[in-house]
Every structure is written in structure tokens, then in C-alpha cells.
Amino acid sequence: MLRIKPTYIVGHVTDINLEDLKKDSIKGLVFDLDNTIMPPKTGDYPEDILKWLEMVKNEFKIAILSNNPHKEYVQKAGEKAGCIAYEKAQKPRIKAAVQALKDLDLLPEQVVIIGDRPLTDILVGQRLGLTTVLVDPLITHDENQFISFLKMLERCFISSALKKFADNGNNNQNN
């Protein structure tokens, strides 16, 4: 059975504890774009996130790994953040993520992937043995109801998996 268990769950990307990541010998952060660090279809980063990314870049390598197929849009987002960006990544397929690790020149155990979608962002990270961080989507309105419903199901699945895990009294989420 497919089990998706993010290493960490936070509300907002800027809530990520960089000190904890450093203690875990993390050297690189790979971000999903839409709804993780940028509201969809805006092309602009919220100011707090852009400032936070600047700070992150002082201590970590960063990259954007997006399933968004629009090359120009994703590349511009990469330019604005000052990092390499991959469009059409087809997460949870691993090919583009493997390329990102190669380009960052980091091993899976040195990288954390951060995203708002369990079945794409977290799953690809899990498949490659990365640390994973699930964030709340920046924007939840403005999507069609069917997509919203699917995302809600995804998150219920994660919550119940975590609850079951907690009920088992096991604190090691890597099992």
C-alpha cells in the first residue's frame, strides 16, 4: 500500500526551521513553485517569501521543481528567486528531481523537498529518500471544485495516515 508520510508538516514555507535542517546536514532545498512559494498564476512572490528565500540562499543551495508546463513562467520565477528552475517536472516521477540533485551536486540525504501536494511533491521526495516538508497551500480558492475536492482527499489521507501512525505509538516516521 502507498504510504505518504512527510518528514515535517508546517503551515507556511517560512515556518520551516532552518536550524533543524542544518542539524540534519541538509545542504539543499528544492521547492515546488505554485502554491508553495508563489500564489498560482501570479508570477510574483509574496514579499515575505522572497526575503526568506534570500536568507535561505545564504546557507543552502536552492532550486525550483515545478509540474507547471509553462517554461517561460517557471524560468522567470527561477530568475526572480535567483535559482535554477525546472518546469514540467512530472512529479511524482523522479527524472527531473534526479536531474535537480545532480545539478545541485548534492546527495538525496542532503536535500529537502518542500511542497503543498502529498501525491506529487512529497511522494517524489519519498521515492528518492529526501527529507520532505508538506506546507499548506498559499491559496485555496480560485480552483475548480473537483480539484479542491481531490486535494482535500489527499490531505485527509495524509492526516489519517499520520494519526494511525501516532496511534501505533511509533515516533519514527521513516518506517
SS3 18: helix
Binding mask 82-121 for Mg ion (x = CB under 5 A): ----------------------------------x-----
Which value, in Å, is the radius of gyration of the alpha carbons in the chain? 15
Report the distance separating Cα 49 and Cα 55, nearest Å: 10
- Cβ–Cβ contacts within 10 Å for residue 166, how many? 11
Judged by CB under 5 A, the stretch of 6-14, 27-35, 71-79, 158-166 that binds Mg ion is 27-35
Report the distance separating Cα 110 and Cα 26, nearest Å: 4
Q: Which of 28, 30, 34, 106 contacts Mg ion by CB under 5 A?
A: 34
Q: Which of 21, 29, 35, 125 contacts Mg ion by CB under 5 A?
A: 35
**Nearest approach, Cβ of 46 to Mg ion (angstroms)?**
14
User: How many angstroms from the chain centroid is the CA of residue 100?
Assistant: 13
27 versus 155: smaller Cβ distance to Mg ion: 155
Contact set with Mg ion (CB under 5 A): 32, 34-36, 116
